[in-house]
C-alpha cells in the first residue's frame, strides 16, 4: 500500500459498511473504513431489531459473540385509539429458531462490535472523521476528501446512511423528498431485566416486539414501536414527513404523549429515560432506489434506500448487511478494474439475493400505507367493535352481524372492502 492509497475506502461504519469491510479485508484487500461518529454506531439509530439471517450467512454463529439484547419470541400489533387498545399477539418458540431468529439490538454496541470484526479481519478503521466530498478525476470516483486530506482508492463504497450527501453530490441520488423518508424518534428507557420479563411474559433472554397503529401518531401515517432490550426498553414512533408542516405538536411531544397512552404507560412505569434520539428512515422502498453503482463507486444500505416498511414489519439492517456483502463480492470479482461495467455485478448480485426480490415484492406497499384510513378510522373501528363485544351493561344485545356492520358502515363498506383488497394485493 502506498501512503495515500487503499484498494477500497468505505464511508460509514454501520452494518452495511462494516460488513463490506469485513469481507473485503478477509479477501486480502487494503480497506479503509471511515466513520464520522466518535465510535461506530454513535450516529446510528434503529427501532431496535435485527433479523439475523443475512449476518448468519456471513458470520455463522454470530449470535454467540455479538452484543445482542434479546431473541424475539413474541410479536404484538396493537390498534390504538385515545383510550382503547386492541392487540393481536403471537408468542411462539418457532419465531426465534430455524434461521428466522431476530434480535433486539442497541446500535452503539452492535455497530462497534461489527466494525471491530472488520478491523480484526485487517481493515483500518478511522473514527471521528467526516468525509466531505468524493475525489473525482476524469468523471470517475478516485477517492475521498476529508478536510484538507485527499485519500485515493480503487473503489469507494458509500455507506453513509439515509441522507447520503455523497451520493447526491455525484448525482447518483436525488435529494430526499418528504414522502421518501420518515422521521423516527425513540427513547431508551431503563428497567431491570426481571421487571421486563415479568411485564412482557418472557423467559430470561427472550424478547418482545410490539407495533402500535392509530392514536400514537394522532392518525398520521406511521406507527409506534417497542422492543425489549436486556435492561431497557426501546420505545418510539416513526411517521411520515410529508405533512410535517401541518403538525401541531413537535416530535418529542408526540413521543411524550405516546409514553402516557394508557396501553403504554404501565409497560414503562418506573423506568428512567437514558437517551432520546431521532433519525430519518428511508420509506419509499423499491421506488426510491438510486443508481447503485458508477465508475469507481457503489452505494449500499440506507444510502441506497434499502428499507422495507410494510406496517407490521420494518426491515433495514438485514438488507444493509446483505447489500454490503453483495458490494464486497462484486468488488472482489472485479479484479482491481472498477469500471461501471465491472461493478454492474453488484446490481446483479442484489437482484439474485432477497434484497431486490423483497423490495419488489412489497413495492406497492408504501403507496398502500399512504392511506389515512389505516391510521384513523380503522383503529377506531376495531376498538369500537371489540369494546362492543366485551361490554355488558344490561341493555339489549343486537344481532352479531349488526354489531359488526355498525362501525364498518361509519367508514363505508365499499371503502373497507377496497382497502382490504388493496392491502392483500400489496403484500
Partner 1 sequence: MKKIVACYKWVADEADIRIDEKSRALNFDRVKYKISEYDRNAIEVGNSLKDKYSCEFVAVTCGAQVESSLKDVLSRGPTNVYYINDEILADADGGVTAKVLAGIIKKIGAVDLVICGEGSGDEYGQQVGPRLAALLGYASCTFVTKLDLTDEGLMAERKLEDGIEVVQVQGPAVVTVLPDINTPPIPTLKQILGAKKKPTTKLSLKDIGLSRDACAPKLKNIGVLGTVMERKGICMNIDGLSIQEAAEKLAKRLSADGILG
Q: Which residues bind partner 1 (CB under 8 A)?
A: 4, 32, 34, 39, 124, 126, 128-129, 146-149, 151, 256, 260, 272
Nearer to partner 1, 178 or 193 (CB): 193
In 139-296, DSSP assigns E strands to 140-146, 149-158, 181-190, 206-214, 222-228, 232-240, 272-282, 293-294
Name beta bridge partners: 223: 238
Closest CA to 307 of 220, 182, 427: 182
Nearer to partner 1, 55 or 146 (CB): 146
Report in angstroms how near the CB of residue 225 gets to partner 1 at its nearest.
Answer: 22
Closest CA to 200 of 274, 104, 278, 107: 104
Report in angstroms how near the CB of residue 150 gets to partner 1 at its nearest.
Answer: 9
Nearer to partner 1, 177 or 249 (CB): 249
Give the whole-angstrom CA distance, residue 110 versus residue 310.
24
Report in angstroms how near the CB of residue 124 gets to partner 1 at its nearest.
Answer: 7
Cell of 419: 382497502
Report in angstroms how near the CB of residue 259 gets to partner 1 at its nearest.
Answer: 10
Report in angstroms how near the CB of residue 39 gets to partner 1 at its nearest.
Answer: 8
Report in angstroms how near the CB of residue 99 gets to partner 1 at its nearest.
Answer: 33
Nearer to partner 1, 216 or 320 (CB): 216
Contacts of 25 (CB under 8 A, 6+ apart): 31, 118, 121, 122, 123
The owner of cell 466531505 is: 132
CA angle at 416 for the pair 412 and 419, rounded to the nearest 5°: 140
Nearer to partner 1, 188 or 288 (CB): 188
Nearer to partner 1, 174 or 265 (CB): 265
320: exposed, middle or buried (Cβ count in 10 Å: 0-12, 13-18, 19+) = buried
Half-sphere exposure of 293 (CA within 13 A, CB side): 23
Amino acid at each position: 500500500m502506498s501512503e495515500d492509497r487503499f484498494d477500497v475506502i468505505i464511508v460509514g461504519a454501520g452494518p452495511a459498511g462494516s460488513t463490506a469491510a469485513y469481507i473485503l479485508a478477509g479477501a486480502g484487500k487494503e480497506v479503509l473504513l471511515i466513520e464520522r461518529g466518535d465510535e461506530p454506531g454513535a450516529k446510528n439509530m434503529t427501532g431496535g431489531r435485527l433479523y439475523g439471517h443475512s449476518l448468519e450467512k456471513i458470520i455463522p454463529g454470530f449470535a454467540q459473540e455479538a452484543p445482542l439484547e434479546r431473541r424475539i419470541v413474541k410479536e404484538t400489533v396493537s390498534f390504538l385509539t385515545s383510550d382503547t387498545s386492541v392487540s393481536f399477539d403471537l408468542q411462539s418458540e418457532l419465531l426465534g429458531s430455524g434461521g428466522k431468529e431476530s434480535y433486539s439490538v442497541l446500535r452503539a454496541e452492535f455497530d462497534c462490535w461489527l466494525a471491530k470484526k472488520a478491523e480484526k479481519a485487517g481493515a483500518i478503521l478511522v473514527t471521528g472523521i467526516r468525509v466531505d466530498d468524493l475525489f473525482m478525476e476524469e468523471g470517475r470516483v478516485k477517492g475521498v476528501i476529508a478536510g484538507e486530506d485527499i485519500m485515493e482508492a480503487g473503489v469507494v463504497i458509500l455507506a453513509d446512511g439515509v441522507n447520503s450527501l455523497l451520493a447526491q453530490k455525484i448525482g447518483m441520488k436525488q435529494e430526499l423528498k418528504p414522502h421518501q423518508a420518515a422521521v423516527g424518534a425513540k427513547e431508551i428507557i431503563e428497567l431491570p431485566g426481571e421487571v421486563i420479563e415479568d411485564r412482557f411474559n418472557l423467559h430470561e433472554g427472550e424478547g418482545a416486539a410490539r407495533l402500535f397503529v392509530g392514536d400514537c401518531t394522532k392518525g398520521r401515517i406511521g406507527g409506534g414501536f417497542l422492543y425489549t432490550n436486556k435492561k431497557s426498553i426501546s420505545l418510539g414512533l416513526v411517521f411520515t414527513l410529508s405533512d410535517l408542516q401541518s403538525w401541531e405538536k413537535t416530535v418529542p411531544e408526540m413521543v411524550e404523549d405516546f409514553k402516557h397512552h394508557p396501553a403504554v404507560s404501565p409497560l414503562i412505569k418506573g423506568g428512567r429515560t437514558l437517551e432520546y434520539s431521532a433519525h430519518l428512515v428511508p420509506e419509499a422502498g423499491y421506488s426510491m432506489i438510486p443508481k447503485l453503482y458508477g465508475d469507481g463507486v457503489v452505494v449500499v444500505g440506507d444510502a441506497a434506500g434499502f428499507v422495507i416498511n410494510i406496517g407490521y414489519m420494518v426491515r433495514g439492517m438485514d438488507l444493509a448487511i446483505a447489500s454490503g456483502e453483495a458490494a464486497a463480492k462484486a468488488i472482489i470479482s472485479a479484479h482491481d478494474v472498477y469500471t461501471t461495467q465491472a461493478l454492474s455485478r453488484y446490481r446483479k448480485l442484489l437482484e439474485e439475493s432477497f434484497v431486490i426480490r423483497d423490495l419488489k415484492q412489497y413495492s406497492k406497499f408504501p403507496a398502500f400505507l399512504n392511506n389515512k384510513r389505516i391510521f384513523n378510522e380503522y383503529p377506531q373501528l376495531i376498538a369500537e367493535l371489540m369494546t362492543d363485544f366485551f361490554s355488558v351493561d344490561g341493555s339489549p344485545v343486537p344481532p352479531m352481524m349488526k354489531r359488526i356492520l355498525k362501525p364498518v358502515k361509519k367508514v363505508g363498506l365499499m371503502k373497507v372492502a377496497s382497502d382490504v383488497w388493496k392491502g392483500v394485493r400489496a403484500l
